Amino acid sequence: MSVLREPRPGKALVSLLAEAAWWDGGGWPSLHAELAERFGPVDYRSGLMPFDHTDYYGDELGRPLLRRLLGFVRLAPLDGLKAMKLAAVAMEQARLRADGTRTVNVDPGILTLERLVLASGKNFTHRVYQGGGVWADLTLIYNKREGWVTLPWTFPDYATEDMKRRLTALRTLYKTAVEAGETRPGQGE
C-alpha cells in the first residue's frame, strides 16, 4: 500500500517572450515588478535570448522575438501550477494591444530536482488537466547520469543545450534551498 504524503514544493519560474522593441520600450519594468509582487523576489534572471525556433508567436507578438527566463526565491507548491498560469494569463491580458493581440507571452512552470513542468492552455496527449483550462506539460526530466533529458514532445527551444544550462543553474539554486531546509511554499522571502 502506498503512503500518501505531500511533496516538497518546487522552484517557480517564468519564461517571457516578446519582440525586441517591447524590452526596450518600457514593457519589461512594469511586468518585472508585477511578477515579483505575485511570485516573490527574483533570484535568477537570464539575459535576453533570441527566439527563432518557430514562427508560431511571431505573427502575434512581432519580430525579432527575445526570451528571458526568471526564477523566484519563493518555492511553489506543485499543485500551484494552475494558479500561476491564471495569474500569467491575467498579466498578458492587461498588456494587450488595441487589436487584442498580446505584447508578451508569460509562461510559468515549476522545476524540481526530477523534472520541469510548464503550464499550458492547450490540451495534448501527454498533458494532464489541472482545472480552469490549465494543462500541465511534462517538458523535461532530469537524471544524474544524463542531466536534462528531452521527451518526444519537448519544445525545440527547451531541448537546446543553452536552455538546459540555464535550467541547471535554476536547479542548483533550488537544490541549495532544499538542502538548507527551505521546503515550505513561500519560505525564503
What are the pLDDT digits (tens) for 135-150? 999 999 999 999 999 9
Looking at per-residue pLDDT, the higher value among 182 and 102 belongs to 102
Domain ranges of the chain: 10-179
Q: Which candidate, 44, 41, 98, 49, places its Cα nearest to that of 74?
A: 41
Compute the CA torsion angle 99, 104, 106, 107 (nearest 10 deg). Answer: 100
Residues 6+ apart with CB under 8 A from 2: none
80 exposed, middle or buried (CB, 10 Å; 0-12, 13-18, 19+)? buried
CB 134 within 8 A of CB 109: no
Cell of 142: 532530469
pLDDT at 167: 98
- pLDDT tens, position by position, 41-62: 999 999 999 998 777 777 889 8
Q: What CATH number belongs to 10-179?
A: 3.30.70.260
Q: Write the DSSP assignment of 40-51 as a string of letters.
A: --EEEEPPPEEE
In this prediction, residue 156 has a pLDDT band, given cuts at 50, 70 and 90, of very high
Give per-residue pLDDT as tens, 9-21: 999 999 999 999 9
- DSSP H helices, the chain, are 20-24, 27-39, 58-61, 81-93, 161-179
* Cα–chain center distance at 142: 16
pTM (predicted TM-score): 0.92
Measure the CA dihedral 145/147/148/149, to 10°: -20
